[in-house]
Amino acid sequence: MARNPVREAATPLLALISAVRSGRIDLPLPELHRRASAAAARFDQALLHIGLDVEEQRRARYAVYATVDDVAQTLPGRGAEGVEWARRSMVVRGFGENIGGDRFWMLLADMLAHPAGHADLIELYHACLAAGFHGRHRVGNTGSADLNRTMADAYAALPHVRAVSETELVPAWRGRPTPRRTAGAWAPLLLAASVLAGGLLWLLLVLRLILGQTGQPALAAMAAINPQTPLRLSRRADAATQPTSAQQSRIAGLLAPEIAQHLVTLDEDANSVRVRTMIGQLFRSGSDVLEPGRQALFERIARAVAQEHGAIRIEGHADSDPVTSLAFPDNQALSDARAQAVATVFRGLLPDPKRVSSQGFGATRPIATNATAAGKALNRRVEIVVPRTE
């Protein structure tokens, strides 16, 4: 026999109305009324064999009937069918009254005041609330909260709920006694070492920032040793114009759109051909992350020099503005990181990534004065160097 035969007997009818409410079953109201009436008749017959007294049977029937009516009359889009249901509702046919299910709350409150003798019925009422009975709690700002509180009160009143915490789930199974594991004698030393290591790391970061800030004058003095403009020989006569090599012409042809837009320029000497960027805003400020659209420029340069023979060197250069951060303590570190970022783009496109190397020079090799914004923009550059073979 079921633990709660009353609720067990009501399950088919509550399952039907719950499925209709959730949309899992779509029935016209007349068909729902026919099925619910048949299930209610079977529920009434089952109550006669359970052994409830007349009052308990009446309370059980009222709860189930009111739940069916409450859900059916709130289904959307029923129109005239809803009016007909109200005239022939379950409560009207079973009890001859139509008070909107308010008696449900009065009966439940009465049983919660003395739950000891009404455990099965309280569980049935809780099941009705779960199936969709809202009654007067369907409207109002606090209706949902009041409904949840009532369900919680009903559930807490059930004797098997109160006994759960005192019942062993598997009495035949016993846990194995396990001795308590202590941290051991080394634990304080390990903890102290961890704290010391954290403190030293913090001190290192602070000293690095201080060194970066206080070392700027020395770095500026060292940089001032180098001339701010490229060295030029003083000639009495104009130097003979050197013809452009076929190698430079070939690379220039592949980069013609970029040269026309003044994005890059080409230069060569006896040993190398050099592709030099002409736009200062290649990377985000103080970062080695390329600005949007700049990677495409370097990809085009990579394809242009890929067919040349020999190693490809990426050189990073910076202006004289000081940089101090945890990631980049000075311009030298920043220019090196930017050169590596461009080298990564090249390696992803070349069949032999080992051809690519990178090096940063900081602000030590300016090609323009750092006294003006335009000059600084030219000095913030990347140069791609390939060996001259022709």
Contact yes or no for 84/46 (Cβ under 8 A): no
pLDDT tens string, the chain, 390 residues long: the values are 568 898 899 999 999 999 988 889 888 888 988 999 999 999 999 888 888 889 999 999 998 998 898 888 888 877 777 778 888 888 888 888 776 567 888 898 899 988 888 888 989 899 999 998 888 877 767 778 888 888 888 888 887 655 544 455 566 666 677 776 666 667 788 888 888 888 888 888 777 777 666 766 666 666 566 655 555 556 565 555 667 889 999 999 999 999 999 999 999 988 999 999 999 899 998 899 999 999 999 999 999 999 899 999 999 999 988 887 778 888 899 999 999 999 999 999 999 999 999 999 999 999 999 999 999 999 999 999 999 987
Contact yes or no for 67/14 (Cβ under 8 A): yes
Q: What is the structure's pLDDT at 384?
A: 95
Contact yes or no for 33/92 (Cβ under 8 A): no
3-class secondary structure, 384: strand
Q: What is the structure's pLDDT at 295?
A: 94
Q: What is the structure's pLDDT at 264?
A: 95
For tokens 């003798």, what's the residue? 117
What is the spatial distance between Cα 66 and Cα 89, in angstroms, rounded to a whole number?
9
Strands 312-316 and 382-387: antiparallel
Number of Cβ atoms within 10 Å of the Cβ of 241: 6
Kindly report the pTM of this predicted structure: 0.45
Q: Give the alpha-carbon dihedral of 228, 232, 233, 234, to 10 degrees.
A: -80
Q: What is the structure's pLDDT at 99?
A: 66
What is the spatial distance between Cα 175 and Cα 178, in angstroms, rounded to a whole number?
9
Please name every residue paired with 387 in a beta bridge, in sequence order, or none if there are none: 272
How distant, in Å, are the alpha carbons of 158, 304, 316, 324 from that of 309?
A: 86, 12, 22, 39
3-class secondary structure, 270: coil
Q: What CATH architecture does domain 5-166 belong to?
A: Alpha Horseshoe (1.25)
Is residue 377 packed enough to be buried (19+ CB in 10 Å), middle (13-18) or exposed (0-12)?
A: middle
For tokens 């009324």, what's the residue? 33
Q: Domain limits of the chain? A: 5-166, 246-387
Q: How many residues does the chain have?
A: 390
Q: Tokens in use for 78?
A: 């029923």
What is the spatial distance between Cα 20 and Cα 86, in angstroms, rounded to a whole number?
17
Write the CB contacts of 132 (distance below 8 Å, at least 6 apart in sequence): 17, 18, 21, 67, 70, 71
Q: Is the dihedral of CA 27, 33, 35, 36 positive or negative?
A: positive
Fold match flag (5-166 vs 246-387): no
Quickly list DSSP for 317-356.
---SS----SS-SSHHHHHHHHHHHHHHHHHTTSS-GGGE
Please name every residue paired with 352 in a beta bridge, in sequence order, or none if there are none: none
What is the spatial distance between Cα 42 and Cα 273, in angstroms, rounded to a whole number?
97
Q: What is the structure's pLDDT at 242?
A: 67
Please name every residue paired with 264 in a beta bridge, in sequence order, or none if there are none: 277
**Domain 246-387: which CATH number of 3.30.230.70, 3.40.50.720, 3.30.1330.60, 3.40.50.12160:** 3.30.1330.60
Q: What is the structure's pLDDT at 216?
A: 62
